[in-house]
Amino acid sequence: MRGLLLVLLLSLISPAPLHSSAFPPSIPSVETGNALTAERVALFIRAFLETNSLPPDYHPKTTELSHVLPVFGPSPDAAAPYDKFTPLPLSYYISSPTSHRTPPPHPETTSYYRSLPAPPALSIGVISHYKNTGHRLACRSTWLSPSFSSDGLRPTISKFFIALPPSGKIADLPTSTLIEALLFDDILLLPFVDSYSATPLKSVSIFQWGSKTTGSSFTLRSNDDVYLSLPPLLPSLYATPPSRVVAGLLIDGSSMRIPRPTHWGLPDDRAGQQQLLDSHRAWTFTHADWPCDAVPDFPQGNAFVLSSDLALAVAALADRPWLSLEYVADDVLVGLTVDQAAGGNLRSLHVNAGYQHEGAWVPCDGSRDWFFNVHSEYLYWIHDNIINKRDKCQGLDAVLCCGIQG
């Protein structure tokens, strides 16, 4: 019943792409334990479906993040004050008088993770937009489900990283997102307004969380519109010492032409960069930010894994206030950072991933292990094919699988 209700919610918030065949008849449901009790799931989903609102006793404790900080304060074991790279669970800001739910005493702190019987070996941080409930539900039900994101011996933890709506107020987040936060308690909120240019800030936050907070040996940063088949990667990953390791779709930097705003006839400044980000979601480099005409090898930005030492090096970017992170493609920035940290002596694990030019619809290739820019419906479809030992792309349209989602 819970799985059906979640699929109903998904159908409301994630429009289906055009395709010629029916939605797969068997959709894997969310695994037991991934949400709260079935009764509470039913309560929230029913309230959403019937009234398009939260139950009257569930509401954000505050409308602006700054009002919360004096109450909850920074992490008790944090060396630095609360800043834009330090998230707290979204559920922490939502009251629940009926169930007498109280926020945990020390959410997302090093002391909490150190108190676990087995701290996570792999921390997965998923970059998401606050409106993308459909993709988050699909990720939880598919490649992020426990039996597919862990080898059964070493624990894995996953969280979604979102930021605030344009108003900067938690109360203006979509109702479905507030429901979702209470159901799954796996959404971390960053204290800045969400935008595509904020992606590098989220990336740095993920590696700070994975290396300093959870203390995991490896941290995976991904987008929410990907399908990552982790079982083929984990044996190789765990057979490698957690030092100087980068895993993903590795790009040869020498094959790249440095994208400049001037290539589009725009000025070589912030205005030109911002115009391309807003209109085409295209990352470019001004000569002031990147004077060289070459980039290092780097992991393609949809998803990649770093060992703890390299994750710490990326996390250290948060301590450089002069660095304009919002205007540098995070995968290239990570490539430069880890190249410096490892002295050019990286242990690279290449993942067979499907990616061409972002923004262009490309066919699904069943030989791949990772799929990028995938509609949420197809995440279920690919997963269902894997479970039933079919070709990963069986039933998917030849040209409407993977590409930018708008």
Question: Pick the residue with more confidence: 362 or 1?
Answer: 362
Check whether 193 has a pLDDT greater than 50: yes
Identify the bridge partners of residue 89 per DSSP, sorted by sequence position: 188
Of 78 and 301, the one with more pLDDT = 301
- pLDDT bracket for residue 350 (50, 70, 90): very high
Edge-to-edge strand list for the sheet holding 227-228: 227-228, 370-371, 353-354
> Which pLDDT belongs to residue 65?
53
Residue, of 29 and 354, whose pLDDT is higher: 354
Answer whether residue 67 shows pLDDT above 60.
Answer: no
User: Among 82-91, 125-134, 295-304, 366-375, where is mean pLDDT lowest?
Assistant: 82-91
264 vs 171: CA distance, rounded Å: 39
Phi, psi angles (nearest 5°) of residue 94: -115, 125
Selected residue with higher pLDDT from 41 and 209: 209
**pLDDT score of 237:** 92
Residue 245's pLDDT is what?
93
What's the average model confidence in pLDDT over 351-358? 70
Query: Which of 128, 140, 126, 163 has the alpha carbon at shortest distance from 10?
Result: 140
Taking 3-state DSSP, the helix, strand and coil percentages for the chain, each rounded to the nearest 5, stand at 35, 15, 45
Range name among 22-31, 311-320, 380-389 with the lowest pLDDT average? 22-31
Confidence of residue 366 (pLDDT cuts 50, 70, 90): confident
pLDDT value for 398? 55
pLDDT, residue 197, reads 81
d(CA 17, CA 32): 29
Which pLDDT score is estimated for 321? 62
The mean per-residue pLDDT over the stretch 81-96 comes to 69
Q: How many angstroms separate the CA atoms of 275 and 267, rounded? A: 10
**Spatial separation of the C-alpha atoms in residues 59 and 302, rounded to whole Å:** 34
CA 301/CA 222 separation, integer angstroms: 8
Residues 206-265: tens digit of each pLDDT: 999 999 888 899 999 999 989 999 999 999 999 998 999 999 998 888 887 788 888 888
Q: Return the pLDDT at 318.
A: 80
Residue 305 has pLDDT above 50, yes or no: yes
**Predicted local distance difference test score (pLDDT) of residue 323:** 64
Confidence at residue 170, expressed as pLDDT on a 0 to 100 scale: 84
Could you identify the residue written with the tokens 């926020």? 103
Low-confidence winner among 27-31, 308-312, 339-343, 376-380 (lowest mean pLDDT): 27-31
Q: Note the pLDDT of residue 176.
A: 78
- Give 401 or 344, the one with higher predicted confidence: 344
In angstroms, rounded to a whole number, what is the distance separating the alpha carbons of residues 385 and 24? 9
Does residue 334 surpass a pLDDT of 80?
A: yes
Buried/exposed 196-221: b ≥16 CB within 10 Å, e otherwise: ebbbbbbbbbbbbbbbbbbebbbbbb
Q: What is the 8-class DSSP label of residue 213?
A: I
Higher pLDDT, 304 or 96: 304
**Nearest one of 172, 119, 184, 114 to 145, comparing CA atoms:** 184
Q: Provide the pLDDT for residue 58.
A: 57
Tell me how far apart the alpha carbons of residues 246 and 218 are, in angstroms, rounded to a whole number: 9
Residues 6+ apart with CB under 8 A from 85: 190, 201, 204, 205, 208, 315, 318
Q: Which range (67-81, 147-161, 225-239) has the least confidence?
A: 67-81
Give, as one character, the DSSP assignment of residue 93.
Answer: G
For 270-276, the CB contacts below 8 A with 24+ separation are 270/327, 273/327, 274/197
Q: What are phi and psi of 31, to 5 degrees?
A: -70, 150
Residue 38 in this model has a pLDDT that exceeds 50 = no
Paired sense of beta strands 347-350 and 227-228, if any: unpaired
Which of 123-137, 230-244, 388-402 is predicted least confidently? 388-402
End-to-end CA distance of the chain: 32
CA distance 84 to 321: 11
- Cβ atoms of 88 and 205 closer than 8 Å: no
* Amino acid in the structure at residue 57: D
Selected residue with higher pLDDT from 80 and 204: 204
* Predicted local confidence at residue 98, as pLDDT: 43
In the sheet that 122-127 helps form, which strands lie side by side, from edge to edge? 88-89, 187-193, 156-164, 122-127, 218-223, 298-307, 245-251, 347-350
Beta-carbon contacts of residue 357 (< 8 Å; ≥ 6 apart): none
Q: Which of 202, 198, 161, 208 is nearest to 315 (CA)?
A: 208
pLDDT at 138 over 50: yes
Q: What is the pLDDT of residue 19?
A: 36
Mean pLDDT score across all residues of the chain: 74
Cα 164 from chain centroid? 15
- Please tell me the predicted confidence (pLDDT) of residue 52: 53
Q: What percent of the chain has pLDDT over 70?
A: 69
